[in-house]
Amino acid sequence: MERFFAKVIVTLKNEVKDNRALVLDKMLKNLEIEESASFSTGRFYTFFVSAADLSNASEKINYICKEILSNPVVEKYEILSIEALK
Amino acid sequence: MKAAVVVFLGTNCEVETKRALEFCGFEAEYVNFNANNLDNYDAVFLCGGFSYGDYIRSGRLAKFTPVVEALRKYIDKKRGVTVGICNGFQVLCEAHILKGALVENDCSKFICKNVPLELKFNGIVKNISLPIAHREGKYVCFEDVYEYEFLKYLDNPNGSMQNIAGLYDCKNRVMGLMPHPERAIFARNFGYDGKEIFKIVEEEIKRG
């Protein structure tokens, strides 16, 4: 078994209103820093998994993201990286 | 009629839910999160509060408990009526037992107040008022849930889609609502309108 290190980000789907992002957009506009920042907020996770190979690790990470870290009804996730540890 | 009041780690409305059920003529008892059979009960209540610190999102981690697994079997067998109040509704949505999801209120604040609602059930239309207490109570769904709506906000305090405050899946007999009917039973609280919800549950149990 090998060890893999995953970096994952979970954000709201585009059709769900992101209140925090809207506040940040408005703040940057009011401060005259950026007219249209189009923020998107979410949660960032890093974790380790044990798997036979990269493909199994990817399957396991996808399962964790889909069933535990996100709710597919309102959220989407993106696996930023999967690194095999030496 | 026998009702189960499910207690997860963090549930904090079990006492008033049991009291309200007993006041409305039910025989109620607490059921722990590790119970694996609910067949003895005519109704199962998932009550308000928190579950597992509501880490990740409200109700997310409770879906992995043995009692939710038992609840799926209970619903499949059509044994009785399931009711999720506040955090219980969030658990039902996170477990995909009910359609949709509950996200952060539009105002991003915790709302705790009595709200006017429209109750529509079995041809009866009534205006009632019940207390709400939540931060993640905005109901969103990208599927058609028209047939399931039974409780709607009149002033939509949290931005819920189609003003939905509660859903009832009559096929599987699963009800979910954000307002707390158990807090509107005794005179010293928020009036008596909570009885209307318990009356519906009673009718549904009798309907079989």
The mean pLDDT of B17-45, rounded to a whole number, is 95
CB contact under 8 A, B142 and A15: yes
Calpha distance B6→B15 (Å, rounded): 11
Q: Helix, strand, or coil here: B16?
A: helix
Q: What percent of chain B has pLDDT over 90?
A: 87
B47 catalytic? Reply is no
Q: Which of A12, A19, A71 has the CB atom closest to B94's CB atom?
A: A71
CATH fold for domain A2-84:
Mth169; Chain: A , (3.30.1280)
Considering only alpha carbons, which residue of chain B is nearest residue A20? B108
What pLDDT, on the 0 to 100 scale, is given for residue B144?
A: 81
Q: Which of A16, A23, A68 has the CB atom closest to B103's CB atom?
A: A16
What pLDDT, on the 0 to 100 scale, is given for residue A86?
A: 80
What pLDDT, on the 0 to 100 scale, is given for residue B60?
A: 92
B177 vs B78, more confident: B177
Mean pLDDT of chain B: 93
In which band, very low, low, confident or very high, does the pLDDT at B206 lie, cut at 50, 70 and 90? very high
B96 catalytic? Reply is no
Distance from CA of A11 to the nearest CA of B (A): 12
Instruction: State pLDDT tens for residues A42-80.
Output: 999 999 999 999 999 999 999 999 999 999 999 999 999
The CATH number of the domain where B90 resides is what?
Answer: 3.40.50.880
Interface test with A, best of B65, B92, B140, B144 (most A CBs within 10 A): B140
CB contact under 8 A, B159 and A73: no
B180 catalytic? Reply is yes
Tally C-beta pairs within 8 A across A and B.
Answer: 29
Catalytic residue among B14, B134, B136, B180: B180
* Residues of chain A contacting B91 with CB distance shorter than 8 Å: none
What pLDDT, on the 0 to 100 scale, is given for residue B61?
A: 93
Q: Which of A15, A19, A69 has the CB atom closest to B108's CB atom?
A: A19
Q: Which stretches of chain B sit within 8 Å of chain A by CB?
A: 56-57, 60, 93-94, 96, 100-101, 103-104, 106, 108, 140-142, 159
Q: What is the pTM of this model?
A: 0.94
Q: In terms of residue numbers, what domain contains B128?
A: 2-207
Considering only alpha carbons, which residue of chain B is nearest residue A42? B56
Q: Which stretches of chain A sit within 8 Å of chain B by CB?
A: 12, 15-17, 19-20, 23, 43, 68-69, 71, 73-74
Calpha distance B134→B125 (Å, rounded): 25
What pLDDT, on the 0 to 100 scale, is given for residue B44?
A: 97
Q: What percent of chain A has pLDDT over 70?
A: 100
DSSP codes, B137-193: -EEE-SS--GGGEEEEESS-SS--GGGEEEEEETTTTEEEESS-GGGSSSTTSS-ST
What pLDDT, on the 0 to 100 scale, is given for residue B20?
A: 95
Instruction: State pLDDT tens for residues B51-65.
Output: 998 999 899 999 999
The mean pLDDT of B204-208, rounded to a whole number, is 89
- The pLDDT of residue A10 is above 90: yes
What pLDDT, on the 0 to 100 scale, is given for residue A26?
A: 95
A43, A48, B49, B83 from A4: Cα distances, Å: 20, 6, 37, 41
Instruction: State pLDDT tens for residues B135-161.
Output: 999 999 988 877 788 999 999 999 999
In which band, very low, low, confident or very high, does the pLDDT at B123 lie, cut at 50, 70 and 90? confident
CB contact under 8 A, A74 and B101: yes
What pLDDT, on the 0 to 100 scale, is given for residue A69?
A: 96
Instruction: State pLDDT tens for residues B128-138.
Output: 999 999 999 99
Q: Calculate the CA dihedral of residues B127, B133, B136, B138 and round it to 10 degrees.
A: 10
What pLDDT, on the 0 to 100 scale, is given for residue A16?
A: 94
Contact B135, B110 (CB under 8 A): yes
The mean pLDDT of B103-127, rounded to a whole number, is 93
Instruction: State pLDDT tens for residues B173-197.
Output: 999 999 999 999 987 777 899 999 9
The count of domains in chain B is 1
Instruction: Kindly list the domain boundaries of chain A, sorted by start residue.
Output: 2-84
Calpha distance B68→B66 (Å, rounded): 5
